[in-house]
Chains A and B, each alone.
Chain A
């Protein structure tokens, strides 16, 4: 990955070993004798490094050496190393990439003459972003129309995260607190007729069939995530999560402790698409009561505990013509469980003063185990397509946006009795988002022509 990213950076900078010598635009290549940095590291890092030494004198030398290594590693990440020939054009592009990486509030590059002709020392003066705690809160409420027997389905969701001492928008905060609360209610989970559509008759009673569906209830999740020091273009992280789900009807619940560890790879800022990719391992240990327990048919119900480990791949990308994010987690135990989603918005441009976009999304759950998937039918595919119209504006010193979505969704699933089920609806959504220096808030209201479950 490091070699690939380095080569990519070289390509994007237009550098290659051949071009360094044969660049006819600029006929005076420069040899970098040394690289020096000021302000590239947090002052607390120096203090932390000093603790590794017992002697102050040795500590001073050791810390200086480690900070120098950090400096050279930073420039190497952007394609420039000591004892390398570069052209003035290469330095111009380096200046551009450093400034547009948004890793630092400001970057000033300069070169100083060295002893020999065309030999220089490269000096970078960096200013870090100030540390600020940033709050992100998203609230949504939706209603899906149901018939007189089943009633409407009402769903509310509140989620977000608090990034403690985040420096800038791109740098991950060292500590992040996340939360996600959902509540979904309907008069009845599903009508008997709906359950039996396309399915076979089962030996379960009517109440048992309805109980097995049981997608109404509430779910709460909190987590703490540690992002370790970003020295390269990747950031290791570790997350501890706690979930609680209560399913309405028979008052059962499940509780989950989860641990996730992985690495986030940051995309090359010079590429037209800003991207981020994450690899992780997620271990979930959950305890359930009542019929919330997943047991084979015929073995009754009771208190149960299970432990499942998933391998996860997720990512996000943004360019001038598209925003996309995806997530896929697959169990690495004997039972097959996986879940994932893909969301893509194609930006179609400005027309009549409004921004237009075409969005598609797909969510897949197989063997719903994690509490976040329990509100809904197990083994489900949810596909949506929508047209988005919106406008960005500035008000009260903050960037705001208002969007309207109109689309169509299809919900296909099988429940525990293996009845297949498929429903589609038309829906509309109004969303408002505000981005300020210290917080991002979004509110969304959605209406569906028919209940999906």
Chain B
């Protein structure tokens, strides 16, 4: 595949060559046609020339035979023939002179011929005159002498030579014309062939170029599609993350506002109580004196109770806000801690967690079964937190009346391990399955301690490890949390 620039240069070269050849062919054709025309002209001239020469000869002979006839018979018709022929000789010679104007050789030959013709005509005229004057014998004597005959022979010979020469030239000229025609034909054919070849080459180059362009387009379209797919994926991810942030902000702003209402409310209550308190103190001080009954007696018991109540609520609200803020910080910190990827033996990890929970498991009578788990490349601390929380929840939300059972199993897909923590606890309602992952949210009967932070934290951790978590549950039967972890995870993304 030639680079684009070389290709376009080639195409331009081809086109230029084709055009050049075309122009060349045209020029050559024009030249050859002119040559042919020229030759044609020459041929015409020569033919005219030879014809005139023949005519001249005939006219002289005709004059001669008229003369002979008249000399022999003295009849007028012969005289008339002679006169007619003689009259024609002049013009014919004149025409010949015209024809030979630009042919020097011929001109010379004609110039050499003319005196002979003149001499012959003079001889004839002389004899005629003699015969007209009644001296036929003298005339015949001249005829009998060879002079007239010799001149005529000379004239014939010259004319024959001139005609023969002209015919030779004629053959040459005809040959030239033929050659020119043949060359024209050849040039045209070759030219056509060359142009056709160039056209074919050009066409094939264009075709190949077009095919390459088409291929490029297909690749581009494919790449675009791939890009669009990936963009859609990323956008979906971003959208999900964004939604989570929105939910987070909503929850945080509410759950932090709530205690604030309490603090403000009970502070105001305290203010109201202060007035009552002051009245009470004033009343006590005045007890000994005369100032009784000025103010209505304040119910001391109610006052005590309300005051303590208000303070208690203020304090509990403050500590609640503190706890909430801590939980948020904890979550945010977990989101920011630098994770490292190391090989983690999940069997070992789960065994350690089980050991730390052993006391509670025994107390509640819960059986924990961990099947053979693989090794993954991931952050160890994060995994520990995830599975500790899941097991803790499983223990926390057991049913009261039946022996508890927790199973940890694994499924292998091409790229991920799916680790399931199943329990036979109280289960979660369908409508709560998404809720439980929200911060500060819990589900079901609220008889266990907890802030509702655990699963939100777990989800954040799992996500950062390049995995995902989902939950399946049947109320009153059990719950299964499935964590999908990539087999080999690296922190840089």
| A and B: bona fide binding partners | no
Q: Which residues of B contact A (CB under 8 A)?
A: none
